């Protein structure tokens, strides 16, 4: 199968990001502070929603930024639309 992406250098294959609950007390803010002590971790707020991003290169990303398991890639990769791409997307 021909890869539909590949012009951005595999940016989405170099980190993962997920939503977290907004901290609402000192202990929860301390948890966020602990996350940030780790290399490659960032926390950001987008339109009131809190996210944690973890820089961690996918083991299936080839040196030329192509996917070595593209035809059998995980569902989360299949569902990720180019329109959501940080590099080339419209969002």
Q: What is the pLDDT of residues 22-65, one digit of tens each?
A: 999 999 999 999 999 999 999 999 999 999 999 999 999 999 88
- Output the six-digit token pair for 63: 């040196």
The pLDDT value given to residue 91: 46
What string of DSSP letters covers 1-68? ---S--SS-SGGGSEEEEEEPPP-SHHHHHHHHHHHTSTTEEEEEETTEEEEEEE---TTB-TTS-BT
Q: Average per-residue pLDDT in the chain?
A: 87
User: pLDDT grade, residue 88 (50/70/90)?
Assistant: low
Can you give the pTM of this predicted structure? 0.74
User: pLDDT grade, residue 4 (50/70/90)?
Assistant: low
Domain ranges of the chain: 11-84
The pLDDT value given to residue 78: 87
């Amino acid at each position: 199968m021909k890869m539909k992406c590949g012009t951005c250098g595999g940016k989405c294959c170099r980190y993962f990001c997920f939503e977290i609950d907004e901290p609402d007390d000192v202990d929860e803010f301390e948890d966020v502070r602990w996350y940030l002590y780790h290399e490659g971790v960032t926390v950001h707020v987008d339109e009131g929603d809190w996210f944690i991003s973890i820089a961690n290169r996918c083991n299936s990303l080839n040196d030329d930024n192509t996917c070595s398991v593209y035809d059998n890639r995980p569902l989360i990769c299949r569902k990720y639309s180019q329109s959501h791409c940080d590099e080339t997307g419209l969002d």
